[in-house]
Amino acid sequence: MLRYMINRIVAMVPILVLVSVLVFSLLSSMPGDPLDRMLQDNPDFTYEDYMRLRGLYGLDDPIYVRYFKWASQMVQGNLGYSRQYKIPVQNLIGPRLQNTLILSITSLILALSLALLIGIVSAVKQYSPFDYGSMAFAFFGFSVPNFWLALMLIVLFSVNLHWLPPGGIQSSDVPPGFWPMFTDRLKYLIMPVVITALAEMASWTRYTRNSLIDVLQLDYLRTARAKGLPEQAVVIKHALKNSLLPLVTVVGGSFSRFFAGATIVETVFSYPGMGKLLFDSVMGNDFVVSMAILLILSTMVLWGNLLADLMYGWIDPRIRYD
Amino acid sequence: MAREIAAPTRALPRTEEKQVKIVSLKSIVAKRFFRHRLAVAGLIIVTAMVLFAFGGPFLNLYQPDQVNLRERFATPSFVMRAAASPKPAVYNLAALQYDGEDAADRPLKFGHPLGTDDLGRDTMTRAMFGGRVSLGIGFITSILSVTFGASLGALSGYLGGIWDNLIMRLVDVNHSLPELPILMVLSKIFPPGFWTMCLILVVLSLFRSSRITRALALSLKTQLFSEAARAVGADWSRLIFRHIIPNSLSPLFVSLTLGAGAAIRAETSLSYLGLGIQPPMPSWGNMLSNAQQYFFSAPWLVFFPGICIFLTLFSFNMIGDGLRDAFDPRMTRR
């Protein structure tokens, strides 16, 4: 088990290196360079200054030299300096990452628990009105474009009903104390969390339902019922665990969408998370910031897949790691 | 009731021949697909959308970029009063209002069924042309990426060894790239337009169906018919393109429909963010981003393009679901 984990983590390294090379070359072929911003800010900036600074910052070096310079700083923990925000990238990403984690972990928990609940009930009551209703809802959930639904919810809940704030992260006039702060943050989180959770929840509901229906027809469950187990124990203890494998795969694979797909949600709700930061830095040619965020996202994807593979062994003890 | 048998039945004894109806796999699949009511509904909606987008402009009275400042933010209606004839006076703002005092005297004319936007452009016409862009990108991207991805997967599974390793590492890298951010970067690198959107979407979804065909190729290449084909001297390309790919068509049809939906979703998201199709060329996504700032005064501008996207994605998902069920061998008795 431990050896398997170490092997997997070692195998991540070449993939990450490949990803970083790919992302680095993509980002450096984007039009514009970090000096553009200086050029815009300062009318006294001459062409000679521009050329001198290009040489000074090593922007004239061939791409592989720049990559190695960047990579050697990166492994030492120096992510660079943001031209747009004028602070080191570490300090920039820290709070943003925290905001994104709050958003995505909340929606992950919401999506997973609702998907399991609805999926189990509709599998047990297959072809009931509840089943049809939840399936219709699932199809709605993964077909509706999230930015459009977000706009519609803003119109409904913020503009017409005045229940929820249309965007941002907290009010400016919160009384001090944990609970007022908490409820205030919560109000700002509701809509982004619901939108982020919806699409994944919809597809996970279907996975749970379909695989549970398959498992429920198996012989060993008839045995379980025959020996007098209550239906609840049959479904929850015996059937559910065996039906979780496909769900675990999709959940592990959806990590990237949770963090990166938040780009749109964060942009619509102007929620200061990593997705919005990434969008702003791509738009503003903030090279090192985009690079750092893209690498963090790719690492999360790889960890998500590893986590899913480790979960298999817990769910299905027949799966061995060697 | 006639029994359904998918395989050729030459070996059946004569006596049974009267009761057995020979049914091809294709007709079984079609029958099952058409029994899936939602999938049929999806097919109808997609057909209607295609007709709307590609046929609609031939019937319509407006051009997609026909600006009419007298009819800015016209509410959705089929009939409307013609605009007042321009008064000779300069700066006569009242003349720009088409429902002035003498509105009842002016003749009725064909209105804007889905309203107009901030420049008085007809939303329905723009939705049609936007549909051409969005649907076109969806179909082209999905066909190209499934074709390439499936061939690569089949090659990888069939050839094995170093090729397999190489292609599968590429697939891994492709799967660990966060999709939307990379699309954002790519659409900044290449000048935005219809074909570049297709290109970057194909590049990013290139390996999406590779894993399916690789797994199928691994099992199919050991089967007897492959061995027979090799025995009569077929080379690898013939095996892959004449035997392995045709045998893995059913999951590929599913990924084709779902891929079209995913491409349309990606295109509209990018265009919504302002990185995809650029105005004045309409796309369902950039119509929404333009409409966003008016959604208090002109909510129809936000509503209709969104409904178009939603209905299209919904029907592609339905069709994909219907196809998956229809191809599923476990569903024979239903």
Q: What digits encode the pLDDT tens for the residues A180-239? A: 888 888 888 888 999 988 888 988 998 888 888 888 888 888 888 888 888 888 888 888
Contact call for A148 and B176, based on CB within 8 A: no
Q: What is the pLDDT of residue B138?
A: 92
The pair phi, psi for residue B186, each rounded to 5°, is -60, -40
Report how far residue A90's alpha carbon sits from residue A81's, in angstroms, rounded to the nearest whole number.
8
What is the four-CA torsion angle of B201, B202, B206, B209, rounded to 10 degrees?
A: 90
- H-run or E-run covering B21: strand B21-22
User: What percent of chain B has pLDDT above 90?
Assistant: 8
Contact call for A15 and B188, based on CB within 8 A: no
Q: What is the pLDDT of residue B104?
A: 63
Contact call for A26 and B313, based on CB within 8 A: no
Does A23 contact chain B (CB < 8 Å)? yes
Q: Distance from A179 to chain B by nearest Cα, in Å?
A: 34
pLDDT tens-digit map of A227-276: 888 888 888 888 888 888 888 878 877 776 776 657 888 888 888 888 88
Looking at this protein, which amino acid is placed at residue A181? Answer: M
Say what the ipTM of the complex is. 0.81
* pLDDT value at A314 more than 80: no
Q: State the burial class of residue B22 (Cβ atoms within 10 Å of its Cβ: 0-12, 13-18, 19+).
A: middle
Contact call for A148 and B302, based on CB within 8 A: yes
Q: Give one DSSP letter per residue of B22-57, joined into a string.
A: E--HHHHHHHHHHH-HHHHHHHHHHHHHHIIIIIHH
Q: Which residues of A touch B314 (CB under 8 A)?
A: 139-140, 143-144
Q: What is the pLDDT of residue B333?
A: 42
**Cis bond upstream, residue B280 (ω within 30):** yes
Q: Distance from A22 to chain B by nearest Cα, in Å?
A: 9
* Residue keyed to tokens 């590929």: B252
Q: Which residues of B touch A261 (CB under 8 A)?
A: 180
Report how far residue B226's alpha carbon sits from residue B248's, in angstroms, rounded to the nearest whole number.
14
Contact B170, B207 (CB under 8 A): yes
* pLDDT value at B142 more than 90: yes
The mean per-residue pLDDT over the stretch A134-162 comes to 86
Q: Which of A256, A282, A301 lies nearest to residue B185, judging by beta carbons? A: A282
Task: Give the residue from B37, B33, A78 showing the smallest Cα distance to B45.
Answer: B37
Q: Give one DSSP letter per residue of B121-150, joined into a string.
A: -BHHHHHHHHHHHHHHHHHHHHHHHHHHHH
Q: Which of B172, B182, B314 lies nearest to residue A139, judging by beta carbons? A: B314
Candidate from A199-208, B6-15, B268-277 with smallest mean pLDDT: B6-15
pTM of the model: 0.82
Half-sphere exposure of A280 (CA within 13 A, CB side): 18
Does A259 contact chain B (CB < 8 Å)? yes
Looking at this protein, which amino acid is placed at residue B274? Answer: G
Q: CA of A140: how far to CAs of A30, A58, A265, B33, B257, in Å? A: 37, 51, 18, 21, 17
The mean per-residue pLDDT over the stretch B39-53 comes to 90
* pLDDT value at B1 more than 50: no
* pLDDT value at B105 more than 80: no
Report how far residue A254's alpha carbon sits from residue B320's, in angstroms, rounded to the nearest whole number.
20
* pLDDT value at B92 more than 60: no
Q: How confident is the model at residue B61 (pLDDT cuts 50, 70, 90)?
A: confident
Residue B298: closest C-alpha in chain A? A155
Q: Which of B173, B268, B296 lies nearest to residue A19, judging by beta carbons? A: B173
Task: Give the residue from B150, B184, B192 showing the smallest Cα distance to B167.
Answer: B150
Candidate from A31-40, A86-95, A160-169, B133-142 with smallest mean pLDDT: A31-40
Contact A204, A120 (CB under 8 A): no
The mean per-residue pLDDT over the stretch B85-92 comes to 51
* Residue keyed to tokens 């057909």: B47
Contact B196, B250 (CB under 8 A): no
User: What percent of chain A has pLDDT above 90?
Assistant: 4
Contact A165, A172 (CB under 8 A): no
Q: Which of A19, A140, A293 lies nearest to residue B176, judging by beta carbons? A: A19
Q: Which residues of B touch A305 (CB under 8 A)?
A: 176
pLDDT tens-digit map of A8-37: 888 888 888 888 898 888 888 887 777 777
Q: What is the pLDDT of residue A260?
A: 63
User: Residue A267 forms beta bridges with which residues?
Assistant: none
User: What percent of chain B has pLDDT above 70?
Assistant: 82
User: Residue B22 forms beta bridges with which residues?
Assistant: B5
Q: Which residues of B touch A23 (CB under 8 A)?
A: 177, 182, 185
Candidate from A193-207, B111-125, B202-216, B276-290 with smallest mean pLDDT: B111-125
* pLDDT value at B17 more than 60: no
> What are A226's two structure tokens?
């025959």
Contact call for B299 and A301, based on CB within 8 A: no
The mean per-residue pLDDT over the stretch A108-120 comes to 91
Looking at this protein, which amino acid is placed at residue B108? Answer: L
**Residue of higher predicted confidence among B142 and A243:** B142
Looking at residue B81, the DSSP 8-state letter turns out to be E
